[in-house]
Chain A
Amino acid sequence: MISRREFLSLAAAFSATAVLPAGSFAANKAKVVVIGGGVGGATFAKYLRRKAPDVDVTIIEQNPIYIRPYGSSEVLTGHVNMSDLEVNYDVLRNQYGIKVAIDRAIGLDADRKIIKTASGTDYAYDRLVVSPGIELNYERVEGYSKELAETKAPSGWIPGSQTSLLRDQIKTMRQGGTMLIVAPPNPYRCPPGPYERGALIAEWMQKHNPTGKVIITDPKDKFTAGNNFLLGWNRLYGYNIPMEFMDDMPDDVVEHSTPGMIDWIPGKDGGTPLTFDAANMSVKTEGGNIKADVINIVPPMKAGKIAQQFGLTNEQGWCPVNRVTFESQKIANVHVLGDASIADAMPKSGFAANTQAKVAAYAIAHLLAGDTPEQSPAFENTCYALAGSDYGFFVSAVYELRDGKISKKEAPGLQDLKATEAQRRLSAVYQQAWMKSFTEDCFA
């Protein structure tokens, strides 16, 4: 008699070489359950089924339609509609044979390796993958709450009804009004996001509300691709670049005599937000009170709620994992991917979650087969960002393991500040093209 582990090893080996027809071992297939059908969960499920077609993969996801967060600020300016963000699970189901259960995980029995769901179903697993994304800590901005985010001052950082509300507020804002964006502290999902959002809204205002203004108040003193943003804002919206950021700036930077449409207040200048006053529509910062017509607060974040509930998080609210397999350092046979995981030098981005998911899928295929995963995986990140519809740039990096940590390989990581207009335009074209290619790699 062979043990279950050896049996799984044999089954996986056969399946990988397609010696036996699929389903031969149906009753004893290895089972992988994935909680969360976002970028990390979907990519993981697809790439695991490609690598190990005989593994039974079930995604447990609350929503029948995924609303992609990447590119969702483009809803605010009407460049795309909410419905353009929608992605379904049809191809994952029909082409890859992945089961997608529209259900909610509510309990983990790690000893018996069972997930319990709201519908009363128990899912047994050999490996559990948790890819829950982020939870917004609304309450960490005093005076702010989920309820206020849904009715008065949306965050719109997880796309949905808050995104539509924010779009409507911007659209109906009085001429000459002010929109205030409160940027979050590190680490958070989509590092260039708050600054791209501000830029896209300033561009929209040039057409529809030319005396309007965008203020970004920030607890940080610098941010991802900061110099590229500041330069783009200078060229497009009359922003004056602070002296400390002027090194390496190209010659065409101008000192504008009148205040521009966009302003950024870093932490050292009092940008750190303290309290939100819903009644007066104002935010008190370390530097003073900022009153605005539309207030968009991007609150501090932590790993998605289910990761906290299952005990996968550390004191800071993120999930420590093995960097080869993404297996949790807290609970055996449970893996955590994407924004929720601690991935060292990698940002919390969709691209990062996508490449982590593939590495984890291959590692888990090996673990289920009873052998050793590739010990020096590689990861990548690319984030295209816009300062305007035709003004793009990017952050990009390749990562490898060094001393057990995910580290950036030596190379430039940003678009050159001296990039030509054609290059900036090309980055903007790729930004749009990527929305489609990336969604397909994750979900189709």
Chain B
Amino acid sequence: MKKVMILSALLLSSSAFADERAEIMANNCAGCHGTDGIVENSALISIAGLKADVFIQTMQDFRNNERASTIMRNVALALSDDEIAAMAKYFEALPTGEEK
């Protein structure tokens, strides 16, 4: 029985539930940027597969008003640097629409 528990714990920590907070935060983007960061839309863009440094720079530009936005400045101001970095890493690893 003990083995069973250890096995499940290992499987869980190594896969689906790893880095879960970044994934939970990234899910909050999906209402506009699509499930898994992919959206087909006239105005809103996909963010899956975006290079992490581009993601981070873009968020900094939103914060500093160096890039025009509507809600994104406020979102970028609400998120910490660590949160932005974790989300950048998460989105970079997602396949883009073409790769899927």
* A binding-site residues for B, Cβ under 8 Å: 2, 6, 9-10, 12-14, 16-17, 19, 46-47, 51-52, 351, 354-355, 358-359, 362, 365-366, 369-371, 374, 376-380, 382, 384, 392, 394, 396-398, 409-413, 415, 422-423, 426-427, 429-430, 432-434, 436-438, 440-441
Contacts and interface: CB of A to CB of B under 8 A. Distances in A.
Residue of A382, A394, A429 with highest tally of chain B CB at under 10 A: A382
Contacts of B27: 47, 355, 358
Nearest to B5: A6
Contact of B11 (A16, A410, A413, A427): A16
A152 to B, nearest CB: 36
Contacts of A355: 27-28, 31
Nearest to B43: A433
Contacts, number: 134
Contact of A358 (B21, B24, B42, B44): B24
Interface stretch (B33-41, B48-56, B90-98): B33-41
Given A16-B16, A366-B17, A398 B75 contact: yes
17 contacts: A9-B4, A10-B4, A12-B8, A14-B11, A19-B11, A362-B20, A365-B16, A370-B8, A371-B17, A380-B29, A392-B70, A398-B78, A427-B70, A430-B70, A434-B44, A437-B31, A438-B32
Given A10-B4, A47-B27, A397-B78, A437 B34 contact: yes
Contacts of B64: none
Nearest to A415: B70
Residue of B20, B27, B32, B77 with highest tally of chain A CB at under 10 A: B27
Given A10-B4, A397-B74, A436-B41, A441 B35 contact: yes
A362 B31 contact: no
Residue of B9, B16, B25, B34 with highest tally of chain A CB at under 10 A: B16
Nearest to B68: A423
A417 to B, nearest CB: 14
Contacts of B75: 380, 396, 398, 411
Contact of A398 (B16, B20, B79): B79
Contacts of A366: 17
A362 B74 contact: no
Nearest to B27: A358
Minimum-distance CB pairs A-B, first 3: A433-B43, A411-B78, A16-B16
Contact of A433 (B17, B44, B68, B77): B44
B30 interface: yes
A13 B7 contact: yes
Contact of A412 (B5, B30, B74): B74
Interface of B: 1, 4-5, 7-9, 11-12, 14-17, 20-21, 23-25, 27-35, 39, 41-44, 68, 70-71, 73-75, 77-79, 83
A158 B31 CA distance: 21
Contacts of A436: 41
Contacts of B42: 433
A149 to B, nearest CB: 30
Contact of B8 (A369, A396, A397): A369
B75 to A, nearest CB: 6
Given A369-B8, A412-B77, A441 B30 contact: yes
Nearest to A414: B74
Contact of A371 (B12, B25, B41): B12
Nearest to A395: B71
Nearest to B70: A427
Contacts of A52: 16
Given A358-B28, A441-B35, 18 more contacts: A2-B4, A9-B5, A10-B7, A16-B15, A16-B16, A51-B16, A366-B17, A371-B12, A378-B21, A378-B24, A378-B28, A379-B28, A380-B75, A398-B78, A409-B79, A413-B74, A423-B68, A427-B70
Given A398-B79, A433-B44, A434-B44, A13 B11 contact: yes
Residue of A358, A366, A379 with highest tally of chain B CB at under 10 A: A358
A3 B38 CA distance: 41
Nearest to B87: A378
A366 B23 CA distance: 14
